[in-house]
Structures are given as structure tokens and as C-alpha cells.
């Protein structure tokens, strides 16, 4: 296992940085916001809590929650326009700085492609660098499920995305940044994991992550010190 000093060196020399989105790049959890918007917020929040603490797989939890929300295409678009995702303070500056250094930035999320692409647009991240779950709709706009073939629909999916990126682009140093256990589990194959507690602190991640931050300024300072 790398020491904190070695991890900071990996971050400063990263050729790719992957960010989780919900409660990391943005302040909220997309699925909970969608549930609230569709009038089933409490029920879905309860299912999320059960999923976090139980043995249910990510895909089973996602299927159950979406089955309850059943969002239409129109509702998803209206959520984005009426309640756009709120960026976490400092993320815009950090992504800009990484881009200036020639670092590739990816958004790797168990959330929804349409919402995550909206976030990517605000951060000048190409949509080709977005890996998230795709909702499916019937021709009349009604909910028709989600694309179960996406790696992010599975437990361990973020690690699969990072393996794919390393194979495709031959990255040497890939950093994963996120608030949750699924982000921490993506290292390895990521070379370094940075736990983020600026929006919500997950006890398990805070206890186990060797490098844990609560503001993105801490990472900006690391880049400036070089």
C-alpha cells in the first residue's frame, strides 16, 4: 500500500483523474433528487439507506428504486432545468487546473447519464469522458428501465471503467476521488484513492482512506506546491 507521501506524488503526476459525481462533484444525490421531484422521496431515501447497509447488490438496489420512481423523459428534463445540480465549491477551479496541466478528467458515476452530462458541460469535460447509467424510455417518453449492460450498473463497475481506461489510453497514474465505498473499491485498479467528505462524511471511507479531504482547495494546493 502506498504511503500518503507516495499518494500525493501519484496525484501530482496523474495522467487521469476520475471523479465520482453524486455528493462529490455535485452537492446532492441525483437519484434522491429525482425521487423527490417525482413525489416518492421518502420511500426511495429509505431504500437507499437499506441498500447502503445491507447485502443487496448495486444493480438490485438501482432496479428497485427506479421501479418506484418510474421517471418519464419529461420529468428528467424538467428536473435538470428547474433544479440543476449544484456544483461543490472548488470543483470548477480544480478541474480547470487539471485541464491546464494536460490531465484527462473523467466523471464515473452510478448516477444518470443525462444529469451527469449536464454537469460535464459546466466543467468543460467532454461527454466521451462520462461513464454513467443510461435511463431508457418508450417512444411516448414513459420510463422503460435502464441499460443493464453499462459497467456502472454493477457492483464493482467503477473499477471496470478504470481498467478499461488504462487499457485504452495506457495511463500510468489514475486517481479516483469520491465520497463512497464504491469509489474506494475502485483502487486498485486506480493507483490512488482520495476520499472526499465535503458534502457527506461516510464513516467507513473516512476511517479506511489514507488520504481524506473535505475541500477541493486541499488538492489545488498540492498542485501549486510543485
Q: CB within 8 A of 170, min separation 6: which ones?
A: none
Integer Cα distance of 174 and 120 in angstroms: 19
- Give φ, ψ of 58 to 5 degrees: -60, -45
Catalytic residues: 20, 22
Handedness of CA 189, 190, 193, 198 (dihedral sign): negative
User: Is 108 buried (19+), middle (13-18) or exposed (0-12) by CB count in 10 A?
Assistant: buried
Integer Cα distance of 32 and 159 in angstroms: 24
DSSP string, 76-136: HHHHHHHSPPPBPTTHHHHHHHHHHTT-EEEEEEEEEHHHHHHHHHHTT--GGGEEEEPEE
Cell 432545468 locates to: 81
Amino acid at each position: 500500500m502506498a504511503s500518503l507521501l507516495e499518494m500525493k506524488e501519484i496525484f501530482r503526476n496523474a495522467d487521469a483523474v476520475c471523479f465520482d459525481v453524486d455528493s462529490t462533484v455535485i452537492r446532492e444525490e441525483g437519484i434522491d433528487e429525482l425521487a423527490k421531484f417525482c413525489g416518492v422521496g421518502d420511500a426511495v431515501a429509505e431504500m437507499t439507506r437499506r441498500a447502503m447497509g445491507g447485502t443487496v447488490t448495486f444493480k438490485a438496489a438501482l432496479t428497485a428504486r427506479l421501479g418506484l420512481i418510474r421517471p418519464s423523459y419529461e420529468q428528467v428534463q424538467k428536473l435538470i432545468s428547474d433544479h440543476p445540480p449544484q456544483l461543490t465549491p472548488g470543483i470548477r477551479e480544480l478541474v480547470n487546473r487539471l485541464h491546464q496541466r494536460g490531465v484527462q478528467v473523467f466523471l464515473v458515476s452510478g448516477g444518470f447519464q443525462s444529469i451527469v452530462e449536464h454537469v460535464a458541460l459546466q466543467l468543460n469535460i467532454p461527454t466521451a469522458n462520462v461513464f454513467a447509467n443510461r435511463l431508457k424510455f418508450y417512444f411516448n417518453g414513459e420510463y422503460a428501465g435502464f441499460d443493464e449492460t453499462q459497467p456502472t450498473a454493477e457492483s464493482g463497475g467503477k473499477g471496470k471503467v478504470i481498467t478499461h481506461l488504462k487499457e485504452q489510453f495506457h495511463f500510468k497514474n489514475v486517481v479516483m476521488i469520491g465520497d463512497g465505498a464504491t469509489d474506494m473499491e475502485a483502487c486498485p485498479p486506480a493507483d490512488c484513492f482520495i476520499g472526499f467528505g465535503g458534502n457527506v462524511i461516510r464513516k467507513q471511507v473516512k476511517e479506511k482512506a489514507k488520504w481524506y479531504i473535505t475541500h477541493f482547495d486541499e488538492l489545488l494546493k498540492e498542485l501549486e506546491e510543485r
